[in-house]
């Protein structure tokens, strides 16, 4: 299997190197303006100074390696895909809320909970966080654990579990960082954990390491 | 124009209140901890977001509605994390998930 090309290999030069910082500074400045509500020069200068301080601190934080050796830096999100993804996510939030509300109000409550585990090949920790959050927000699934590449997910009924392991959402998250990826590539080693003991042991073994 | 905005505000706030109510009913009706986390984590998120949307319609487009939008974004980011943290600790400390075969064991 060939390694998928990442977005950062396509871009180059100054913009690639400082893109994250510019984006971050822009967002922080917008946050400052919204929260302060004053648009005169004095407040904007104070804001710019604070933004510069925060960006400087964050720049150093992004280069500290985490427990498994990865850094948060060195990954470039594709912004226009992120905006489309957020729209999709809002629709999913509405769908999941109404779906669980329907299950709640259904007289016989047709649920069949199960715990599913799968391996995802997302490229960096931030993508895993986005996927974990998205799984919880999409209909009928709840992320229980993320460790290394393995996701443990609690699903309410069979349909939601099938939708989850089809890898559609993993591919959507993957496309935020990679140029091309397919659902089959993203979601492998699917297992339904029959016994509770199995699920619990897996977390505890990995916690002791 | 004012009337239409107020109409949308009322509709969305009522919808939000409905979903918050259903979320609370779900917390009581579902059989075990994990399914309850589903109810509180999803239905309540939708309820709060509809509520905030209604308030934004009521306020019109100004600085306050932008701040309300920030609250909505914050809720959408933190609510799944809270549900995840609760469910994970529950699994580690040995809360058994309810399944259809075993019944309400």
Q: pLDDT (tens digit, 9 = 90+) per residue, A3-38?
A: 444 444 444 566 666 777 788 888 899 889 888 888
Q: Which of A98, A112, A140 sits opposite B100 (nearest CB)?
A: A112
Give the minimum alpha-carbon distance from B4 to chain A in angstroms, rounded to a whole number: 23
pLDDT band for position A182 (cuts 50, 70, 90): low
Q: Which of B70, B80, B91 sits opposite A136 (nearest CB)?
A: B80
- Look at residue A201 in the predicted model and tell me its pLDDT: 64
Residue A145 vs residue B14, higher pLDDT: B14
Q: Nearest residue of B to residue A93 by CA position?
A: B46
Element (DSSP H or E) covering residue A192:
strand A187-193
- Look at residue A82 in the predicted model and tell me its pLDDT: 82
According to DSSP, the residues that pair with A188 across neighbouring strands are A119
**Does the structure show a pLDDT above 80 at B39?**
yes
Instruction: Tell me the average pLDDT across B41-49.
Output: 88
- Look at residue B12 in the predicted model and tell me its pLDDT: 93
Residue A208 vs residue A48, higher pLDDT: A48
Q: Which of B39, B66, B98 sits opposite A100 (nearest CB)?
A: B39
Task: Please tell me the pTM assigned to this model.
Answer: 0.77
Give me the interface pTM, i.e. the ipTM: 0.84
Task: Check if B33 contacts A (Cβ < 8 Å).
Answer: no
Sheet holding A187-193, edge to edge: A141-147, A150-155, A114-120, A187-193
Query: What tokens does A69 get?
Result: 């050796």
Query: What number of other Cβ atoms are within 10 A of residue A96's Cβ?
Result: 24
Whole-angstrom distance between the N-terminal and C-terminal Cα of chain B? 56
Smallest Cα–Cα separation from A124: which of A62, A46, A32, A40?
A: A62
Interchain pair B92, A207: CB under 8 A? yes
- Look at residue A22 in the predicted model and tell me its pLDDT: 82
B99 contacts in chain A (CB < 8 Å)? 112-114
Residue A161 vs residue A96, higher pLDDT: A96
Report the C-alpha dihedral over residues B97, B98, B100, B101, rounded to 10 degrees: 80
Say which residues have a Cβ less than 8 Å from residue B45's Cβ, sequence separation at least 6: A93, A97, A137, B75, B76, B79, B80
Interchain pair A143, B80: CB under 8 A? yes
B100 contacts in chain A (CB < 8 Å)? 111-113
Alpha-carbon span A89 to A83, nearest angstrom: 10
Query: What tokens does A193 get?
Result: 């954990």
The whole-chain average pLDDT of chain A stands at 75
B63 contacts in chain A (CB < 8 Å)? 34, 37
Give the minimum alpha-carbon distance from B10 to chain A in angstroms, rounded to a whole number: 18
Q: What is the pLDDT of residues B54-81, one digit of tens each?
A: 999 888 888 888 899 999 888 888 888 8
Give the minimum alpha-carbon distance from B2 to chain A in angstroms, rounded to a whole number: 24
**Does the structure show a pLDDT above 90 at B10?**
yes
Q: Nearest residue of A to residue B34 by CA position?
A: A154
Smallest Cα–Cα separation from A113: which of B88, B90, B28, B103?
A: B103
Interchain pair B94, A93: CB under 8 A? no
Report the C-alpha dihedral over residues A113, A115, A120, A125, rounded to 10 degrees: 100
Query: What number of other Cβ atoms are within 10 A of residue B105's Cβ?
Result: 9
Phi-psi region of A109 (alpha: psi -120 to 50; beta: other; left: phi over 0): left
């Amino acid at each position: 299997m060939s390694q998928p090309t990442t977005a950062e290999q396509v871009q180059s030069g100054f913009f690639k190197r400082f893109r994250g910082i510019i984006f971050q500074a822009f967002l922080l400045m917008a946050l400052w303006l919204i929260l302060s509500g004053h648009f005169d020069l004095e407040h904007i200068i104070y804001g710019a100074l604070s933004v510069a301080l925060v960006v400087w601190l964050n720049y150093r934080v992004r280069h500290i390696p985490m427990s498994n050796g990865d850094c948060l830096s060195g990954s470039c999100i594709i912004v226009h895909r992120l905006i489309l993804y957020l729209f999709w996510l809002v629709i999913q939030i509405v769908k999941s809320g109404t779906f669980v509300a329907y299950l709640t109000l259904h007289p016989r409550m047709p649920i069949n909970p199960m715990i599913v585990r799968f391996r995802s090949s997302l490229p960096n920790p931030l993508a895993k966080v986005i996927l974990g959050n998205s799984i919880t927000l999409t209909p009928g699934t709840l992320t229980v654990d993320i460790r290394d590449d393995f996701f443990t997910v609690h699903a309410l009924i069979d349909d939601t579990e099938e939708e989850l392991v089809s890898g559609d959402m993993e591919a959507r998250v993957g496309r935020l960082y990679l140029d091309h990826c397919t659902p089959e590539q993203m979601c492998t080693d699917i297992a339904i954990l029959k016994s509770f003991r199995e699920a619990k042991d897996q977390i505890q073994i990995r916690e002791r390491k | 124009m004012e009337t239409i905005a107020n109409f949308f505000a009322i509709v969305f706030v009522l919808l939000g209140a409905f979903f918050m109510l259903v979320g609370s009913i779900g917390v009581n009706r579902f059989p075990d901890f994990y399914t309850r986390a589903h109810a509180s984590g999803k239905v309540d998120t939708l309820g709060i977001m509809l509520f905030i949307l209604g308030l934004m319609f009521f306020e019109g487009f100004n600085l306050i509605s932008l701040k309300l939008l920030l609250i909505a974004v914050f809720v959408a980011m933190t609510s799944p994390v809270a549900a995840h943290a609760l469910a994970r600790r529950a699994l580690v400390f040995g809360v058994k998930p309810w399944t259809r075969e075993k019944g309400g064991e």
